[in-house]
Amino acid sequence: MKKTIVLCLALSFLSVSCSGKKPALGVANGNLLPCPSSPNCVGSQNGDEKHSIAPLTYAGEKDQVFPLFRDMVKNLDGATLVDEGNGYLRFEFRTRVFRFVDDVEFLFSKDGVIDVRSASRLGYSDLGVNRKRIEDIRRRMAGLKPENAQ
């Protein structure tokens, strides 16, 4: 009984502590903020090889693609939309077991281009999770067709 209580308390503490402190995010001078020096972040506006990832691209009008894209990402496992406005979207992705949080941002920066930034809140390495997430979203975008918008 005592071991069970200690284990429950430890898991409760771990699940709360894994969310981490919200970092500074958003758009400054028309750009997403750069990645930190740690390798647990990728961004399409980062120039260095370690963090760089290609932006997402789309065909069609931004006004039609934006809501389709938002809803597609919102329906991904662990995603919660936390900020939206003026061509900008920010999601929090939580892992199932330990509830680690990754902050993922999208900026419809110019016609046909969505700049991205995906970063872990805690730790140093993410074992490539943020890069894999963006590449998964890139593959899913092939199914987005603006003409499907109602």
- Name the residue range of residue 40's domain: 2-148
For residue 17, the model assigns a pLDDT of: 41
pLDDT for 145: 77
pLDDT in tens, the chain (150 residues): 565 543 433 444 343 344 455 566 778 888 999 999 999 999 999 888 899 999 999 999 999 999 999 999 999 999 999 999 999 999 999 987 777 899 999 999 999 999 999 999 988 888 899 999 999 999 999 888 776 444
Q: Are 87 and 62 in contact (CB under 8 A)?
A: yes
Q: Which two tokens stand for residue 83?
A: 């900020």
pLDDT in the model for residue 12: 40
CATH number of the domain within which 70 lies: 3.30.310.80
Instruction: Give how far the C-alpha of residue 4 lies from the chain's centroid of Cα atoms, to the nearest Å.
Output: 35
Q: Domain count for the chain, please give it.
A: 1
Per-residue pLDDT at 143: 82
> What are the DSSP calls for the chain, one per residue?
-HHHHHHHHHHHHHHHHTT-PPPP-SEETTEEPPP-SSSSEEETT--STTTB-PPEE--S-HHHHHHHHHHHHHTSTTEEEEEEETTEEEEEEE-TTT--EEEEEEEEEETTEEEEEEEESSSS--TTHHHHHHHHHHHHGGG--GGG--
CB 101 within 8 A of CB 25: no
